[in-house]
Structure 1
Amino acid sequence: MKFNYKLQRLCGAYYGNPSTTDTFGGNGQGNGSNLLYTSNGNTLISSVSNRIQVLDLKSNTVRTLPLEARSNIKCMAMSPNDTLLLVVDVNSYAMIINFVRGVVLHRFKFKRKVRYASFSPCGQYIAVTHGKHVQVWFAPNHLRKEFSPLVLHRTYTGQSSDVTRIEWSSDSSVIMACSRDCTARIWTLHTTRDFIPVTLSGHKTQIIGAYFGYDEKNRINSAFTISEDGALVTWNAKVESFEQQPKEDIDLPPSNEFEAQVDDAVDFFSGGANRIKVDFANDDLTQGHHLVEIRWVYGVRHYFNQQGAKVVVTSYNQSSKLLAIGFSSGVFGIYEMPSVSNIHTLSVGSGQLISSCILNSTGEWLALGCPTSQQLLVWEWRSETYILKQRGHAYGMRCMAYSPDGVVVCTGGEDGKIKLWNATSGFCYVTFEQSHQAPVTAVCFANSSVVLTASLDGTVRAHDLHRYRTFKTLTTPTPVQFLSLAVDPSGEIVTAGSMDPFHIYSWNLQTGKLLDVLTGHSGPVCNIAYQQSGGTLASASWDGTVKLWDLYKGDIPTESLQHSSDVVCVACRPDGKEICSGMINGVLSFWDVENAKLKYEIDGRRDITGGRKMNDRMTANNNAASRYFTSVCYSADGSCILAGGNSKYVCIYEVSQQMLLKKFQVTFNRSLDGVLDQLNSKNMTDFGPMDDHADSGDETNYNKIHLPGAKRGDDGSRSGKVEVLTMQVGFSSTGREWATVSGEGLHVYSLDEDMIFDPISLTESVTPDAVMNKLEIGEYGLALRMALHLNEFKLVRRVLENTPFASIPLVVRSIGPEQLERLLQFLGKIMDGSPHVEFYLEWCLELLNSHGIHMDKYRGQFMRAFRSVHKSVQTKHDELKTICNENRYNLDFIEDQARLVTTTTAVKANGMSDE
């Protein structure tokens, strides 16, 4: 089993900062960053806390870049050729990323707060807001690393408050910046003779957006600014002629000498290399030079009347002349410029502030981001349809479960909602809104089409994944709060453990009748699990015991396994011969089910310990509130176990050797609490760490006491940090990926897709050229065996697709048992993106016919690979089913036409024979 798992995607949150509780707090870390489109307009880039999501709107897939910022991301900027991505976090730490490869090229820090950044249209400069100033830097080279990647070109000043937004002219020669002092200021990129920076002041509140207007010759002839109070002011650029007044009292040098001195001065300040000789008769001059004789005149004022709602964000598309406005009430509007006529107005939800909006290059798709609900929308205004609509769980996720075929991931949240995620694309396709009235505590699958959920509202509900409805609600005679849930291997008996009283309830899923109430625990039943090979139920409780129940023989427990501390989690090995239990002292215990004896223990306290919270008086190693595992899960073959808990780490252990194989840190986001192992010494005092909010004057905020079991902190606090936790972990049935639930969402880790060289049974004659030679002479079986020895994906795929359809049975029979698992893994991987459905289905059918008995005999060895193939086949089946259902009437019409042609041909043939 390989363990080179990498984070593939972060589901459950596609916009905003779910790791911050103060969405509109004073530190400004709750708002999401801006959204970006690529140059073709088919890919959307969004930030989620300190990670970057890349959403392909054509293929409907999402991926997470394999990098992290230090803290929550504040703003992003993309180069015009889609090669460089600039990311700045809330603490002004920046990264320059090679977007194509997903590699960080440079890291640095700005000295002042950065609110907005933008690449110039030519791609040679980067403009950033730097407090009250605007800094323009030379863009670095994306092909190589440099010692000093950013070189400052110039700092532009003149505004009395923080700059909020920057706008470039189309030829990158003019910059316009908006400020909180209710003004917009215009500069030229390079020093231009006779040009004086212009300040546009005509608003009562801060300016949110400012854009240029152009004439037929691509010259700037207007500008319009939008303020927070919903006012849009149009500014017209008029040519102003200056009369030359003779000045007899000043002794001026000759004109030629005076112009030479001016040119030398301009060369001195601009560097000489970028200066263009001013000649207003020449049409090749930049837009900055045409602004020299321009006088800006106050034009027309428009108002966006939205019942007192404030303008939060704007976006303008120059090619289509469309202006998009987002309001604080959740309403967004699309207007045609320069007439400011309303084309479309829609609300994304009551009270949902729109913090980011952007139009793609063609102006057809409008992307909207709402940080309060972690909602991301892509709206096509012409057809009035959603291209994309994704929304996460409010207040975070709490539990998750993989479907038996590994195609679907079900999550339950603190908001009482149930969401289904496609494991391949990463998108949510179903949400059960009114499922529960309280947080969902447990989720499990009865089969591939039925999912069960338990909640603190005292109900267990069954949901149909074909009709997308709740078809059964299971309750108890007296109201209880459920903490755990499990279903037997047959999918008929549902059991749930409660908090108080400490009982286990079992129902018949088909009839909904309460079958039995199991008693015996003296503490809350926090976790239960079934053996896959029988009807034995294992229940873990805070009373320090794990009880084994045989549901078919009565309510008397067969055994009670005593532990030294409270038990918080339990898991059964797939073969049912071993169970694993986790205690609050960080120890994992492994028990033999048949003999009810302890086999061995793994002390994971040192493995899971890490992270010091802001109010901790001591280091993480000496903290009395020790870390421990709250969720465990066996791998498909039962050789390894995955464990996660109230820590930033998730550990994988080898069971037989009691050895830590690998440890994953789910996040490095410093906006979370408990990420750093050592705190900054400047915040340390004689009484312990100094709180971030100690200077506010409220003594109750300093080292405030948290309630036991509360993970969100004091609800009365104005702001705070969320602690990093992993509530639940789970392996996919294919074994190629696993997932964990944290405060940021659903982290999905999958095996690295890079080629892995396997030198088993290799000789000097086994080379890629030899494989191709065997293909040319028709020895397909030998070519496939040699390609499997080389273990190169592209080579194996080429051999499979070059094998004739009629030769597949013979080639499959030539494969030995030692290469069978490897061939199954390649088939499962190739089928995901291959259009040759029938061809690869024939491979799967022949494998079952020829080697089905061997795979059934050693099912533990082939389970992971077989489930991977089954997942690919199931995905293809669902895709074809959808296409056939949508084209049912077309297929019936084609069938009728074919039948009619056949009948007509037969009639004509009979007529000719009669003649």
Structure 2
Amino acid sequence: MKFNYKLQRLCGAYYGHPSSTTHGTVGSQWGGANLVFSSAGNVLISAVANRVQVLDLQTHSVRTLPIEARSNIRCLALSPDDALLLVVDVDNYAMMVNFRRGIALHRFRFKHRVRQAVFSPNGLYLAVTHGKHVQVWLPPNHHRKEFAPMVLHRTYTGQSDDITCLTWSPDSSVLLAGSRDCTARIWTVNTTRGYEPSTLSGHKTPLVGVFVASSSTHDRIQTVFTISEDGALVSWTCTYDETLAIESLEGAKPKLEDVMEEAVDFFSGGALTARVPQNLQQPSAKSQAHHLVKGTWSIESRHYFRQDGARVTSTSYSPSNQLLSVGFSSGVFGLYEMPSVSNIHTLSVGSQQLVKTCTLNKTGDWLALGCPTSQQLLVWEWRSETYVLKQRGHAYGMRCMAYSPDGIVLCTGGEDGKLKLWNASSGFCYVTMEKSHTAPITAVCFAKASVVLSASLDGTVRAHDLHRYRTFKTLTTPTPVQFLSLAVDPSGEIVTAGSSDPFHIYVWNLQSGKILDVFSGHAGPVCGLAFQNSGGTLASASWDGTVKTWDLYKGNVPTESLQHSTDVVCVDIRPDGKEICSGSIGGLLSFWDVETAKLKYEIDGRRDIAGGRKMNDRMTANNNAASRYFTSVCYSADGACVLAGGNSKYVCIYEVSQQMLLKKFQVTFNRSLDGVLDELNSKNLGDGGPMNMDDADAETGPYALQLPGAKRGDDGSRSSRVEVLTLQVAFSSTGREWATVSMEGLHVYSLDEDMIFDPISLTEAVTPSAVFAKIRSEDYSTGLRMAVHLNEFALVKEVLDSTPYRSIPHVVRTVGPEQLERLMQFLSKILSTTPHIDFFLRWCLQLLQVHGAHLEKHRAIFMRAFRALHKAIASRQGEVMTVSQCNRYDLEFITDQAALKLTQHSGAKRERDE
């Protein structure tokens, strides 16, 4: 079994900072980062906490980049060629990332707050708001070769308050910035003779947007739009002096030539003309900056957005389509046609939450909206008035999750009482049960593949139909209780739930909804339940320090009671039903034999799970290991390993028979959460312990210190950081992935697909060239075995594609038992994307027919591969059924039309004969 799992995606939140939202600390400047579209306009980039989500709107899938910022992300910027991505967090630490490969190229820190960063249209410059200043950097590119990956080009000053918005001119020679001092300023990127920076002052509130309108003459800037928080839009026009502009151009030419002649290579001593940026080598007459010399700016018109006192929180402009989108603090967004500012659409996102960011893609067809307080991400197509994407996380955090038996669906329950279903392949939520419960959901589980059950603190267990997406059964108790745990027997007929007070286990029949029995015997809350896969044995864990096993068919008498020295908080049964794993608050994992009720092994995981010092802890992480223990355990599909997570930032995988730690995963490195760092900064430690201090420049942030009685910047709220916890862990039935629930959402880990080398039965003759030689000589059997030995997906796919349809049975017979598991994994991966479904189903059918007896005999070894294959086939079956239904209706329509025409033709012929 491989353990090179990597984070594949972060589900449950696609915009905003879940950790901040949970405690109500989201404000206009703390809610989330901006949204960025790719150059093609079909890929959306969003920041969730300290990670970057990439949403493909064409294939309807999501992936999480394998990089993490130090803290919650505040700002994103993507280069025009989609090569570089700038990520800046709330502590002003920045990363320059290779977007295509997801690799961090360079890390650095800005000295002041960065509110926005924008690449120039030609990709040679990067403008960053730096407090009251604007810095322009030279990012890495193929035109410039430097030792430092980031070179500061120039710092622009002149504003009296923080810069809030930036924009570039189409030719990247002019930079415009809006500020909190209610003014906008215009600079030229390079020194332009005779030009003095212009200041546009015509607003009463801070600016939230400044844009350059498209012009019929590309060499001049005709109109500039500025938008302020009070909803005022001012249109500015520039009057040019032709004589002064020509003189400026003539005077600028020698200066540019001098710069190019003086550029010398440090190593060779030759001219450095090739290294001069492309825009400097172009004729200066084409620069829009020189036309601004002695230009006069004046107000052309004023417009006001009337939204009942709501302030403007975000803006976006598409120059090619002349479209302006505006988001308001009331959850309303509008789309306007420029320059007339005529309203096209005004809609609400469905909740009274501010629209933190709105972004139009390059074609102007799609509008992306982000609401941080509800963690809502929307992509709206305004022409057809439909949502391309609409995703929303749990309002107060995620609490529990479960995999479906086939591994295709993930179900999550939240503190808001809602139930959400996620597609494990795409990572998107496709169903939300809004009115599931009236209190937090504590446990969810699947009964077969079409029914999901949820237990809540509201005292009910509800059964939901996954075909009609509705609640069809509500299970209650004679007296009101609060449920903590839930389990369903393998047949899906018997439902059990454990309560907190009284300490009972309730048993229902799912079909009738009637209560069958009430098991009593625990002296503490029943926090965990698990069914045996074969038989009617139920294991229950309680805070009274015992794990009891019950036989549902022999009455209300526990068959065995497994005693622990401390409270038991979690339990699970091995897939073959012969072993029980229980976790206690001492950090111990105990393994018991079901038949003899004797302790087999014990794993002390206190040091494995220990780590992370909270801000208010008065002791170090090493001395505070007693409070770290596992709260959730889960067996792997083959039963050889166990996955464990708890009130820590770590998730551990143990090998049971050897009682050893195989791998340990840290779910997050986000320093905005509490308990991530093992050691605190000594400068924040006082005589009485750690001081509650955070971001130094966050004067109005959620963790800023306030003086007693002070009103300025103090809204009366008291909040603290969210601690890192792994509330629940679960293996997928395929064994290819596992998931854990934390305060940031649902972390899904899958096996690393880049591991392509497996040295099994390899010789010097087994090479990729030898595989292709076997394909050319039509020796497909040998070629397939060699490709499977090399364990390279592209080679295996090439051999399978090249094998003739009639030769598949003969090739399958030559496959050895040691190659079956890997071949089934390859087939499952191919089936998820290939259009040749029938061809590869033939491979699957032959594998089952030829090697079925061996698969049945060693089912524990092949269960993971078989479930992965079943998941891929079931997923494609749904797609084929949808297409077939559409084709059936089309064929029926064509047949009916042909029959109608034939009837009309026969009638007309009969009339002519008569």
TM-score using structure 2 length: 0.92
Residues 472 and 56 from structure 1, CA distance in 2 versus in 1: closer, same or farther, beyond 3 angstroms? same
CA distance in 2, matches of 1:326, 1:186: 25
Is the contact made by 1:49 and 1:71 (CA closer than 8 Å) also made in structure 2? Answer: yes
CA distance in 1, matches of 2:311, 2:423: 37
CA distance in 2, matches of 1:685, 1:545: 43
User: What does 1:148-163 align with in structure 2 at a 5 Å threshold?
Assistant: 148-163=148-163
User: Partner residue of 1:696?
Assistant: 706
Is the contact made by 1:22 and 1:30 (CA closer than 8 Å) also made in structure 2? Answer: no
CA distance in 2, matches of 1:521, 1:716: 44
Q: How far is 1:174 from its partner?
A: 0.5
Q: Deviations over 1:855-890 (max 9, x none)?
A: 111110110010010000000001112222333311
Q: How far is 1:275 from its partner?
A: 12
Aligned residues: 873
For the aligned residues, what is the CA RMSD? 2.8
Q: Deviations over 1:276-323 (max 9, x none)?
A: 999xxx993311110113100122111000000000000000000000
CA distance in 2, matches of 1:371, 1:124: 32
Residues 298 and 773 from structure 1, CA distance in 2 versus in 1: closer, same or farther, beyond 3 angstroms? closer
Is the contact made by 2:244 and 2:294 (CA closer than 8 Å) also made in structure 1? Answer: no
CA distance in 2, matches of 1:675, 1:593: 38
Amino acid at match of 2:770: A
Amino acid at match of 1:673: D
CA distance in 2, matches of 1:289, 1:117: 25
Residues 799 and 237 from structure 1, CA distance in 2 versus in 1: closer, same or farther, beyond 3 angstroms? same
User: Partner residue of 2:202?
Assistant: 202
CA distance in 2, matches of 1:232, 1:479: 58
CA distance in 2, matches of 1:39, 1:27: 30
CA distance in 2, matches of 1:820, 1:84: 42
User: What does 1:69-148 align with in structure 2 at a 5 Å threshold?
Assistant: 69-141=69-141, 147-148=147-148
Q: How far is 1:30 from its partner?
A: 3.1
Q: How far is 1:350 from its partner?
A: 2.8
CA distance in 2, matches of 1:742, 1:283: 56
User: Partner residue of 1:418?
Assistant: 419
Q: How far is 1:786 from its partner?
A: 2.2
SS in 1 for 2:627: coil
| 1:16 counterpart = 2:50 | no
Residues 458 and 26 from structure 1, CA distance in 2 versus in 1: closer, same or farther, beyond 3 angstroms? closer
SS in 2 for 1:726: coil
Is the contact made by 1:84 and 1:142 (CA closer than 8 Å) also made in structure 2? Answer: no
CA distance in 1, matches of 2:29, 2:535: 51
Q: How far is 1:216 from its partner?
A: 1.5
Worse-superposed segment, 660-669 or 800-809: 800-809
CA distance in 2, matches of 1:633, 1:276: 58
User: Partner residue of 2:238?
Assistant: 237
User: Partner residue of 2:297?
Assistant: 296
Q: Deviations over 1:35-65 (max 9, x none)?
A: 0011000100000000000000000000000
User: Partner residue of 2:37?
Assistant: 37
Residues 261 and 606 from structure 1, CA distance in 2 versus in 1: closer, same or farther, beyond 3 angstroms? closer
User: Partner residue of 1:800?
Assistant: 800
Is the contact made by 2:21 and 2:373 (CA closer than 8 Å) also made in structure 1? Answer: no
User: Partner residue of 1:658?
Assistant: 659
CA distance in 2, matches of 1:815, 1:270: 69
CA distance in 2, matches of 1:45, 1:659: 40
Is the contact made by 2:28 and 2:356 (CA closer than 8 Å) also made in structure 1? Answer: no
CA distance in 1, matches of 2:679, 2:146: 31
Worse-superposed segment, 801-810 or 429-438: 801-810
Q: How far is 1:773 from its partner?
A: 2.8
Amino acid at match of 2:652: C
CA distance in 1, matches of 2:543, 2:668: 29
Q: Deviations over 1:176-204 (max 9, x none)?
A: 10000000000111111111111100111
> What runs of 5+ residues in structure 2 fail to find an aligned partner?
264-272, 694-702, 904-914
CA distance in 2, matches of 1:5, 1:422: 19
CA distance in 1, matches of 2:350, 2:145: 45
| 1:648 counterpart = 2:658 | no
Residues 146 and 296 from structure 1, CA distance in 2 versus in 1: closer, same or farther, beyond 3 angstroms? closer
CA distance in 2, matches of 1:261, 1:60: 51
Q: How far is 1:260 from its partner?
A: 8.3
SS in 2 for 1:388: strand
User: Partner residue of 1:910?
Assistant: none
CA distance in 2, matches of 1:162, 1:267: 36
Is the contact made by 2:26 and 2:372 (CA closer than 8 Å) also made in structure 1? Answer: no
Amino acid at match of 1:449: S
Residues 289 and 586 from structure 1, CA distance in 2 versus in 1: closer, same or farther, beyond 3 angstroms? same
User: Partner residue of 1:252?
Assistant: none
User: Partner residue of 1:249?
Assistant: none
Q: How far is 1:902 from its partner?
A: 14
User: Partner residue of 1:568?
Assistant: 569
User: Partner residue of 1:735?
Assistant: 735
SS in 2 for 1:725: coil
CA distance in 1, matches of 2:256, 2:815: 81
Residues 141 and 311 from structure 1, CA distance in 2 versus in 1: closer, same or farther, beyond 3 angstroms? same
User: Partner residue of 1:549?
Assistant: 550
Residues 688 and 300 from structure 1, CA distance in 2 versus in 1: closer, same or farther, beyond 3 angstroms? same
CA distance in 1, matches of 2:852, 2:501: 48
Q: How far is 1:117 from its partner?
A: 0.4
Sequence identity percentage: 70
Q: How far is 1:771 from its partner?
A: 2.5
User: What does 1:717-866 align with in structure 2 at a 5 Å threshold?
Assistant: 717-866=717-866
Is the contact made by 1:23 and 1:31 (CA closer than 8 Å) also made in structure 2? Answer: no
| 1:332 counterpart = 2:355 | no
Residues 342 and 262 from structure 1, CA distance in 2 versus in 1: closer, same or farther, beyond 3 angstroms? closer
User: What does 1:496-575 align with in structure 2 at a 5 Å threshold?
Assistant: 496-575=497-576
Is the contact made by 1:23 and 1:29 (CA closer than 8 Å) also made in structure 2? Answer: no
CA distance in 1, matches of 2:39, 2:817: 50
Q: Deviations over 1:815-835 (max 9, x none)?
A: 222221121111111111111
CA distance in 2, matches of 1:442, 1:716: 35
Is the contact made by 2:22 and 2:397 (CA closer than 8 Å) also made in structure 1? Answer: no
Q: Deviations over 1:504-524 (max 9, x none)?
A: 001001111100000000000
Q: How far is 1:804 from its partner?
A: 1.2
Is the contact made by 1:203 and 1:227 (CA closer than 8 Å) also made in structure 2? Answer: yes
CA distance in 2, matches of 1:195, 1:145: 30
Q: How far is 1:720 from its partner?
A: 2.2
User: Partner residue of 2:912?
Assistant: none
CA distance in 1, matches of 2:820, 2:277: 69
Is the contact made by 2:214 and 2:322 (CA closer than 8 Å) also made in structure 1? Answer: no
TM-score using structure 1 length: 0.92
Is the contact made by 1:191 and 1:266 (CA closer than 8 Å) also made in structure 2? Answer: no
Q: How far is 1:147 from its partner?
A: 4.5
User: Partner residue of 1:883?
Assistant: 883
Q: How far is 1:352 from its partner?
A: 1.2
User: Partner residue of 1:361?
Assistant: 362
Residues 524 and 821 from structure 1, CA distance in 2 versus in 1: closer, same or farther, beyond 3 angstroms? same
CA distance in 1, matches of 2:762, 2:109: 51
Q: How far is 1:694 from its partner?
A: 8.1
Residues 358 and 562 from structure 1, CA distance in 2 versus in 1: closer, same or farther, beyond 3 angstroms? same
> What runs of 5+ residues in structure 1 fail to find an aligned partner?
245-255, 701-714, 904-915
CA distance in 2, matches of 1:740, 1:577: 25
Q: How far is 1:268 from its partner?
A: 9.2
Amino acid at match of 2:804: P
